[in-house]
Amino acid sequence: MATFLYKIGRMSFRRRHFVTLIWVALLTLAGVGAASAPAAGNSSFSIPGTEAQKAFDLLEQRFPGTSADGATARVVFKAPSGEKMTDPGNKATVQDTVKELSDGSEVVRVTDPYQAKAVSKDGTVAYAQVSYKVSGMELEDSSRDALEDSAQHARKAGLTVEIGGDALQTVPHTGTTEIIGIAVAAVVLVITFGSLIAAGLPLLTALVGVGIGVSTITALASALDLGSTTSTLAMMIGLAVGIDYALFIVSRYRAELAEGRDREEAAGRAVGTAGSAVVFAGLTVVIALVGLSVVNIPMLTKMGVAAAGTVAIAVLIALTMIPALLGYAGRRVKPAGEKGKLLGRSKKQEKPAKPNLGTRWASFVVRRPVAVLLLGVIGLGAAAVPAASLELGLPDDGSQPTSTTQRRAYDLLSEGFGPGFNGPLMVVVDAQDSDDPKAAFTQVGDEIKGLKDVVTVTPPAPNKAGDTATITVIPDSKPSSVATEDLVHSIRDKGAGIKADSDANVLVTGQTAMNIDVSEKLNDALIPYLVLVVGLAFLLLIVVFRSILVPLKAALGFLLSVMAALGAVVAVFQWGWLADLMGVEQTGPVMSMMPIFMVGVVFGLAMDYEVFLVTRMREAYVHGEKAGQAVVTGFRHGARVVTAAAVIMMAVFAGFIGSSESMVKMIGFGLAIAVFFDAFIVRMAIVPAVLALLGRKAWWLPKWLDRALPNVDVEGEGLRTDTDRGDQDRELVRA
Q: Where are the alpha helices (DSSP H) in 330-342?
A: none
Nearest CA-CA partner of 515 in 638, 392, 412: 392
Model confidence at 718, in pLDDT bands (50, 70, 90)? low
Mean pLDDT of 449-478: 88
For residue 109, report the phi and psi dihedrals to the nearest 5 degrees: -160, 160
CB 295 within 8 A of CB 47: no
| The pLDDT of residue 386 is above 90 | yes
Q: Using one digit for the tens of pLDDT, what is the confidence trace for 77-125?
A: 999 988 999 999 999 999 999 999 888 778 888 888 888 788 888 899 9
Sign of the Cα pseudo-torsion (623, 373, 557, 612, in order): negative
Q: What is the pLDDT of residue 67?
A: 59
| The pLDDT of residue 374 is above 90 | yes
- Quote the CA–CA distance of 320 and 227 in Å, as a whole number: 31
Q: What is the pLDDT of residue 228?
A: 59
| The pLDDT of residue 518 is above 80 | yes
Q: What is the pLDDT of residue 729?
A: 46
CB 692 within 8 A of CB 525: no
- Which residues, at least 6 apart from 63, have a Cβ–Cβ distance to it below 8 Å? 463, 468, 470
- Quote the CA–CA distance of 33 and 28 in Å, as a whole number: 8
| The pLDDT of residue 204 is above 80 | yes
281 or 14: which carries more pLDDT confidence?
Answer: 14
Query: 119: which strand partners?
Result: 126
Q: Return mean pLDDT, the chain.
A: 83
Model confidence at 227, in pLDDT bands (50, 70, 90)? low
- Quote the CA–CA distance of 129 and 120 in Å, as a whole number: 14
- Quote the CA–CA distance of 673 and 653 in Å, as a whole number: 9
Q: What is the pLDDT of residue 722?
A: 45
Q: What is the pLDDT of residue 663?
A: 73
Query: 68: which strand partners?
Result: none
Q: What is the pLDDT of residue 20?
A: 93
Q: Residue 589: helix, strand or coil by DSSP?
A: coil
Query: 223: which strand partners?
Result: none
Mean pLDDT of 486-494: 91
Q: What is the pLDDT of residue 735?
A: 45
Q: What is the pLDDT of residue 251?
A: 87
CA separation, residue 618 to residues 75, 624, 715 (Å): 64, 10, 7
N-term to C-term CA, the chain: 31
Quick one: DSSP state of residue 454? E
| Side-chain-side CA neighbours of residue 606 (13 Å) | 36
For residue 186, report the phi and psi dihedrals to the nearest 5 degrees: -65, -45
Q: What is the pLDDT of residue 346?
A: 46
What number of other Cβ atoms are within 10 A of residue 721's Cβ?
A: 8
Q: What is the pLDDT of residue 18?
A: 94
Instruction: Find the Cα–Cα–Cα–Cα dihedral 703, 707, 712, 718, rounded to 10°.
Output: 90
- Quote the CA–CA distance of 151 and 129 in Å, as a whole number: 13
Amino acid type, 617: M
Number of residues that make up the chain: 735
| The pLDDT of residue 15 is above 90 | yes
246 φψ region: left (φ > 0), alpha (ψ -120 to 50), beta (else): alpha
Sign of the Cα pseudo-torsion (9, 14, 20, 22, in order): negative
- Quote the CA–CA distance of 165 and 465 in Å, as a whole number: 30
Q: Using one digit for the tens of pLDDT, what is the confidence trace for 126-155?
A: 989 888 887 666 777 788 888 888 889 889
| The pLDDT of residue 373 is above 80 | yes
Q: Residue 467: helix, strand or coil by DSSP?
A: coil
Q: What is the pLDDT of residue 340?
A: 52
Q: Using one digit for the tens of pLDDT, what is the confidence trace for 668-698?
A: 889 889 989 998 999 899 999 999 998 888 8
CB 458 within 8 A of CB 448: no
What counts of helices (H) and strands (E) characterise the chain?
Answer: 24, 11
Model confidence at 324, in pLDDT bands (50, 70, 90)? very high
Q: What is the pLDDT of residue 44?
A: 53
- Quote the CA–CA distance of 674 and 282 in Å, as a whole number: 18
390-429: b (≥16 Cβ within 10 Å) or e: eebbbbbbbbbeeebbbbbbbbbbbbbbbbbbbbbbbbbb
CB 603 within 8 A of CB 537: yes
Judged by average pLDDT, the poorest of 132-136, 169-173, 458-462 is 169-173
- Quote the CA–CA distance of 625 and 606 in Å, as a whole number: 26
- Quote the CA–CA distance of 715 and 612 in Å, as a whole number: 11
| The pLDDT of residue 321 is above 90 | yes
Which segments of 422-463 are extended strands (E)? 425-430, 454-457, 461-462
Task: Kindly report the pTM of this predicted structure.
Answer: 0.78
- Quote the CA–CA distance of 268 and 10 in Å, as a whole number: 5
Amino acid type, 325: L
Q: Using one digit for the tens of pLDDT, what is the confidence trace for 96-109?
A: 999 998 887 788 88
Strands 425-430 and 125-132, by their bridges, are unpaired
Q: What is the pLDDT of residue 50?
A: 85
> From the centroid of its chain, how far is CA 589?
17
CA separation, residue 98 to residues 71, 95, 143, 713 (Å): 17, 5, 14, 71
| The pLDDT of residue 365 is above 70 | yes
- Quote the CA–CA distance of 242 and 230 in Å, as a whole number: 18
Q: What is the pLDDT of residue 730?
A: 46
CB 455 within 8 A of CB 475: yes
